[in-house]
């Protein structure tokens, strides 16, 4: 064996050392080994891990992260770190009970990629009443909706987008999901897709359903959504607004 | 609740305000009501016209759906 050792340069007694010097030599050797092992294994606590530092033969201790954190690389791309994963999926922004003549969801955060509206049990006061939607309190003829997959050369001649259609005023088992895409961009018209099932207003035990697309020919970001029955008031219902990342 | 109330929800703070509609909002509501009723009446007319055709042909709704695929 090389003396000092090849990898960690531990100095060992040599065969020419005086016997009386051996204890002292082994103390030096032992302490050097101990110091090096500790530098290579700096963990102190359950769950600690270590990684190679910029100093040779000296690792860095990384304490255990918190529940739900994942191991990732730091912003400088120089070391690992524990971090809370950026939340994907959906975040419930608000829940609102339907009442009055209209509901406006205002101050919608611009921090999501898409929005999703989920409306349950929409019940209008007037039988056979649509539920319609507007953006940014805009009631001008800047909207269009359609149920077919291809609608060419459509004029924006509606003042709102239809969601529910002709909902019964007594029974309310309806469910609607509307996705509003890329609502913060400032360069495109806005677009939403709705799937909805509701009580037929002639035979409420029967269902009506459709898939409808809504368009809005303004390029500004959407910061508020207004929902209203096409005539009269809401009797009841619930609106949940989700942000989608 | 009377027919001239609006609910405004600030989704960032959770604050909900229910207030009477302004004159401008009432005016818009009345326009919306007229438009909504017109759409509803038009829809009813379409349903009635469709039923009249089915009656003339002696077909049920289900038979018409089969026929039209």
pLDDT in tens, A178-225: 999 999 999 999 999 999 999 888 889 999 898 999 999 999 999 999
Q: Which of A93, A102, A166 to mutate to test the interface with B (most CBs of B within 10 A)?
A: A102
State which residue of chain A sits closest to B12, comparing Cα positions.
A107
Cβ pair A222, A135 in contact under 8 A: yes
What is the nearest CA distance from A123 to chain B, expressed in angstroms? 15
Q: Which of A104, A230, A233 sits opposite B9 (nearest CB)?
A: A104
Specify the higher pLDDT residue, A151 or B52.
Answer: B52
Reported as a pLDDT band with limits 50, 70 and 90, residue B12 is very high
What is the nearest CA distance from B15 to chain A, expressed in angstroms? 10
Joined tokens for residue B23: 């004159």
Sign of CA dihedral A151, A154, A156, A162: negative
Q: Which of A91, A95, A97, A101 to mutate to test the interface with B (most CBs of B within 10 A)?
A: A101
Joined tokens for residue A2: 């090389």
Partners of residue B5 in chain A, C-beta under 8 Å: 99-101
ipTM reported for the complex, 2 dp: 0.79
- Residues of chain A below pLDDT 50: none
Our measurement of the distance from residue A178's CA atom to the centroid of its chain's CA atoms, rounded to an integer in Å, reads 17
Order of strands, sheet of A114-124, starting from the edge strand that comes earlier in the sequence: A90-97, A234-244, A114-124, A175-180, A190-199, A207-216, A143-146
**A4 vs B: CB within 8 A:** no
Reported as a pLDDT band with limits 50, 70 and 90, residue B1 is very low
Closest to A127 in 3D by CA, of A212, A231, A33, A29: A231
* Helix or strand holding residue B61 (H, E): helix B61-68
**A195 vs B: CB within 8 A:** no
Partners of residue B31 in chain A, C-beta under 8 Å: 139, 159
pLDDT value, residue A45: 95
Our measurement of the distance from residue A75's CA atom to the centroid of its chain's CA atoms, rounded to an integer in Å, reads 20
Contact B13 A107 (CB under 8 A): yes
For residue A134, which phi and psi values (nearest 5 degrees)? -130, 155
State which residue of chain A sits closest to B27, comparing Cα positions.
A139
**A131 vs B: CB within 8 A:** no
Q: Which of A93, A231, A241, A242 to mutate to test the interface with B (most CBs of B within 10 A)?
A: A231
Tokens 């769950």 sit on residue: A47
Note the pTM of the prediction, 2 decimals: 0.71
Mean of pLDDT values over B8-13:
96
Angle at A108 between CA A227 and CA A89, to 5 degrees: 100
């Amino acid at each position: 064996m090389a003396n000092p050792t090849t990898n960690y340069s531990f100095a060992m007694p040599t065969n020419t050392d005086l016997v009386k010097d051996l204890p002292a030599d082994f103390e030096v050797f032992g302490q050097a080994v101990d110091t090096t092992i500790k530098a290579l294994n700096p963990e102190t606590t359950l769950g600690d891990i270590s990684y190679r530092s910029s100093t040779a033969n000296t690792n860095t201790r990384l304490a255990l992260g918190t529940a739900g954190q994942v191991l990732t690389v730091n912003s400088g791309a120089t070391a690992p770190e524990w971090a809370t994963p950026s939340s994907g999926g959906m975040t419930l922004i608000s829940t609102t009970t339907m009442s009055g003549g209209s509901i406006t969801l205002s101050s919608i955060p611009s921090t999501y990629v898409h929005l999703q509206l989920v409306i349950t049990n929409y019940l209008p006061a007037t039988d056979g009443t649509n539920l319609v939607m507007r953006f940014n309190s805009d009631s001008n003829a800047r909207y269009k909706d359609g149920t077919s997959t291809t609608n060419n050369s459509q004029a924006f001649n509606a003042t709102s987008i239809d969601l529910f259609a002709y909902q019964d005023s007594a029974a309310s088992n309806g469910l609607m999901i509307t996705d509003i895409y890329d609502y913060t961009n400032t360069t495109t018209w806005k677009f939403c897709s709705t799937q909805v099932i509701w009580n037929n207003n002639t035979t409420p035990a029967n269902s009506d359903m459709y898939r409808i697309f809504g368009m809005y020919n303004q390029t500004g970001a959407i910061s508020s959504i207004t929902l209203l029955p096409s005539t009269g008031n809401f009797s009841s219902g619930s609106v949940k607004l989700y942000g989608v990342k | 609740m009377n027919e001239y109330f609006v609910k405004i929800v600030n989704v960032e703070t959770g604050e909900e305000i229910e207030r009477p509609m302004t004159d401008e909002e009432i005016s818009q509501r009345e326009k919306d009501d007229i438009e909504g009723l017109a759409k509803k009446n038009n829809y009813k007319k379409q349903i009635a016209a469709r039923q009249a055709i089915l009656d003339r042909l002696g077909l049920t709704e289900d038979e018409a759906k089969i026929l039209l695929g």
